[in-house]
Chain A
Amino acid sequence: MSAGLKLKQVKKAYGSVQVLHGIDLDIKSGEFVVFVGPSGCGKSTLLRLIAGLEDITEGTLEIGDAVVNTLPPSKRGIAMVFQSYALYPHMTVYENMAFGLKLAKASQGEQDRRVREAAEMLQITPYLDRLPKQLSGGQRQRVAIGRAIVRDPKVFLFDEPLSNLDAALRVATRLEIAKLHERMADTTMIYVTHDQVEAMTLADRIVVLNYGVVEQIGTPMELYHTPENLFVARFIGSPAMNIVSATIASTGAPATVQPDTGNPVVVNAEVAATYLDAKATFGVRPEDLTPTDGPGLFTGTVSIVEKLGEVTLVYLDTGLPEPITVKIDGDVEIAKGATLTVTAPADRLHLFDDNGAAFPRMRLSNAAA
């Protein structure tokens, strides 16, 4: 049992405050979609609209092929895992998982079979008789997932399920959710997070939201290699992309831009002739920059060195308002105060117009993506 979702111009307003400005989204059956964005971008609200916990102000939501705008949550064929687990504290793990089935008047045998099956899958069988307060955070979260599995939903909703777990447990549970998706390949999953690592590792497709607007929808690699705008470029990737303001010095493909300080730079992007002398920004990821002896993209003094073991982050003072971040191999010795020149291949540069929209990449770079 599974179903896709279709959102058409979905809007949400609280009084006069517009939270979501017309979201269009097409989620295929069995897909794992992650909503990601900064706090207050509307990602949780969007999930709650899909769940039916909040009313849709305008637009339509289809699950399967039926419009479900006015259906109560329990009739939508969904299950949800909450950030705070939302387990019933006075019921045992077993009762928590069986509660929905019991009320749906499922037979005793059916209840038992489904609860035990889910418990087996999540390895929580030994805890079935315990109360939630007797479990650790990770175990509680697995119970919450188990409760959702038991409902045998068409669509599985996760609302920041890992944010209450400590770092090690977060990684372990993330892997469990990935495995779960593999085992329940037919079930559509929608996952909300502000953590881009979770988004990148789990998603088939990522929806980047900002101020109630979809900034970009795409596979993790698409978002990483070909961000459609400045927001996505900055949001995806860690540490964040270096952004430098510039003017378009020559148009065509490839185009040349003149940064506020330094030499002209060739970017593998198609720029129409009308953009000549227009303001623009170009970006380059810290991991795409490499030290060089010859002439490079940026030259500056090393202001801070952060050694993370496998890599070292170097912050370069180049006279630009923001320091340039460079990610280099952890074995390279580099001292604070040294002068460093770095460069990047032209197809690893991203060019955005004054409104933050990316210029089309040249064919070459698309192939690389």
Chain B
Amino acid sequence: MASTQSTIRIVPAGHTKRAKSDLMRQRLRAAGWFLVPMLIALAIVAGWPLLRTIYFSFTNASLTNLYGAEWVGFKNYLNWTVLKSGRVIWSGLLSDPAWWNAVWNTVRFSIISVTLETILGTVVALVLNAEFKGRGLVRAAILIPWAIPTIVSARMWGWMLNDQFGIINDVLLTFGLIDHKIAWTASSDTAMIAVLIVDVWKTTPFMALLILAGLQMIPRDIYEAAALDGVHPVKTFWKVTLPLVRPALMVAVIFRLLDAMRIFDLIYVLTPNSSQTKTISVLARENLIDFDKFAYGSAQSTMLFLIIALMTILYIWLGKVRFDGGDR
């Protein structure tokens, strides 16, 4: 049962020595034609912008002078000039503290939010997997945060977290949990926490649904066998449920991780201009548009692409993730 990731494999012509039957060739041709529209669409909306961005990152392009851009090599990434005094002055992305701050924010945000969402999502999925009255209603209700557009929920939470009029401060004060109003989104201590709260609230349902789908693949009689074996419910979770739901869980985590690494909208709306929460995407947009450093912003975007690609490859390789539904 070696893993076959796709059922249709397109073998390059002339690659196999043995002549394929007419029927097989016909099928491959048909499969190819079905793929063409999607490949064209992908090339236009994903391939071209990506190549352009990579190209611009090696030029001195600016918003006002996109087409007169000149090739500058790796200058946007890293460059140095040696002064007469012998001092070396570094410039470029990799020597920019703002860049490294954004990288750190992005990584911190991704790891914390995905971890919390995975744990909470698993808990929610386990609850939803149990039989109880009104389960359908609860399942629908739990999806609501995910269905609300991010801009709307960010605005909504922005008001709830408002230092003067926000309900969060009001509730916490009433219950005596805090003794003074906190400027959640503005204060440098709490800005990241605020962003994390909103993101966890918003995307836990997504995780829960993906994990729930995995849980429902586990046949019920395995739990009955475990009950006969006298396995404690907690142990059943660790020894039976978790290993069996792992393939689904790994896929869910990678989806979320990809999403979290490129977070933009929530942070842009909830905590604009806070260096505590500025992620790579926010920084790149700032350079691309606000600062008119189009090439520099392109270099940051390209780096983000590389970082995400690298993390994904590492994750799939180390985690032995399989996208074909696990080992059952």
Q: Which residues of A come within 8 Å of B, CB atoms?
A: 51-53, 72-75, 78-80, 82, 84, 86-90, 99-100, 103-104, 131, 133, 147, 151
- Across the interface, B229 reaches (CB within 8 A) one of A89, A90, A100, A133, namely A100
- Asked if A74 and B229 sit within 8 Å, CB to CB, the answer is yes
Docked pose: A36 CA to B243 CA in angstroms: 37
- Asked if A133 and B219 sit within 8 Å, CB to CB, the answer is no
- Asked if B222 and A104 sit within 8 Å, CB to CB, the answer is no
Within 8 A of A (CB), among B282-328: 327-328
Q: Nearest residue in B to A150 (C-beta to C-beta)?
A: B229
Give min CB distance, B133 to chain A, whole Å. Answer: 12
- Asked if B327 and A90 sit within 8 Å, CB to CB, the answer is yes
Give min CB distance, B2 to chain A, whole Å. Answer: 12
Docked pose: A82 CA to B223 CA in angstroms: 12
Q: Nearest residue in B to A95 (C-beta to C-beta)?
A: B239
Let me know if B37 is at the binding interface, CB within 8 A.
no
Additional pairs, 20, CB under 8 Å, beyond known A88-B226, A89-B327: A52-B227, A72-B227, A73-B224, A74-B229, A75-B230, A80-B224, A82-B221, A82-B225, A87-B222, A88-B225, A89-B222, A89-B244, A99-B229, A100-B228, A100-B230, A103-B230, A103-B232, A133-B1, A133-B327, A133-B328
Docked pose: A80 CA to B227 CA in angstroms: 11
Size of interface on B: residues with Cβ below 8 Å to A: 20
- Asked if A103 and B231 sit within 8 Å, CB to CB, the answer is yes
Docked pose: A82 CA to B244 CA in angstroms: 19
- Can you pick out 22 interface pairs between chain A and chain B where the beta carbons lie within 8 Å of each other? A51-B228, A53-B228, A73-B227, A73-B228, A74-B229, A74-B230, A74-B231, A79-B228, A80-B224, A86-B221, A86-B225, A87-B222, A88-B222, A88-B240, A90-B243, A90-B244, A99-B229, A99-B239, A100-B228, A100-B231, A103-B230, A147-B225
Docked pose: A86 CA to B244 CA in angstroms: 13
Interface flags, B222-254, vs A, CB<8A=1, else 0: 101111111110010001100110000000000
Q: Which residues of B contact A88 (CB under 8 A)?
A: 222, 225-226, 240
Q: Which residues of B contact A72 (CB under 8 A)?
A: 227, 230
- Asked if A84 and B221 sit within 8 Å, CB to CB, the answer is yes
Q: Which residues of B contact A53 (CB under 8 A)?
A: 224, 227-228
Q: Nearest residue in B to A159 (C-beta to C-beta)?
A: B221
Q: Which residues of B contact A133 (CB under 8 A)?
A: 1, 327-328
Q: Which residues of B contact A74 (CB under 8 A)?
A: 227-231
Docked pose: A72 CA to B226 CA in angstroms: 12
Q: Which residues of A contact B243 (CB under 8 A)?
A: 90
Q: Nearest residue in A to B225 (C-beta to C-beta)?
A: A86
Docked pose: A90 CA to B230 CA in angstroms: 18
Q: Which residues of B contact A147 (CB under 8 A)?
A: 225
- Asked if A86 and B222 sit within 8 Å, CB to CB, the answer is yes
- Across the interface, B235 reaches (CB within 8 A) one of A87, A103, A151, namely A103
Q: Which residues of A contact B225 (CB under 8 A)?
A: 80, 82, 86-88, 147
Q: Which residues of A contact B226 (CB under 8 A)?
A: 88
Give min CB distance, A44 to chain B, whole Å. Answer: 12
Docked pose: A104 CA to B231 CA in angstroms: 9
Docked pose: A111 CA to B184 CA in angstroms: 58
Docked pose: A79 CA to B225 CA in angstroms: 9
- Asked if B219 and A86 sit within 8 Å, CB to CB, the answer is yes
Which of B227, B229, B239: most chain A Cβ within 10 A? B229
Docked pose: A98 CA to B267 CA in angstroms: 52
Q: Nearest residue in B to A48 (C-beta to C-beta)?
A: B224
Give min CB distance, A296 to chain B, whole Å. Answer: 53
Give min CB distance, A133 to chain B, whole Å. Answer: 7
Given A89-B244, A103-B235, also A78-B222 (CB < 8 A): no
Q: Which residues of B contact A75 (CB under 8 A)?
A: 230
Q: Nearest residue in A to B220 (C-beta to C-beta)?
A: A86
Give min CB distance, B247 to chain A, whole Å. Answer: 10
Q: Which residues of A contact B240 (CB under 8 A)?
A: 88
Q: Which residues of A contact B221 (CB under 8 A)?
A: 82, 84, 86
Within 8 A of A (CB), among B1-39: 1
Docked pose: A79 CA to B221 CA in angstroms: 14
Q: Nearest residue in B to A144 (C-beta to C-beta)?
A: B225
Give min CB distance, B175 to chain A, whole Å. Answer: 41
Q: Nearest residue in A to B236 (C-beta to C-beta)?
A: A103
Docked pose: A289 CA to B228 CA in angstroms: 49
Docked pose: A52 CA to B224 CA in angstroms: 10
Q: Which residues of B contact A100 (CB under 8 A)?
A: 228-231
- Asked if B230 and A82 sit within 8 Å, CB to CB, the answer is no
- Asked if B327 and A80 sit within 8 Å, CB to CB, the answer is no
- Across the interface, A103 reaches (CB within 8 A) one of B229, B244, B327, namely B229
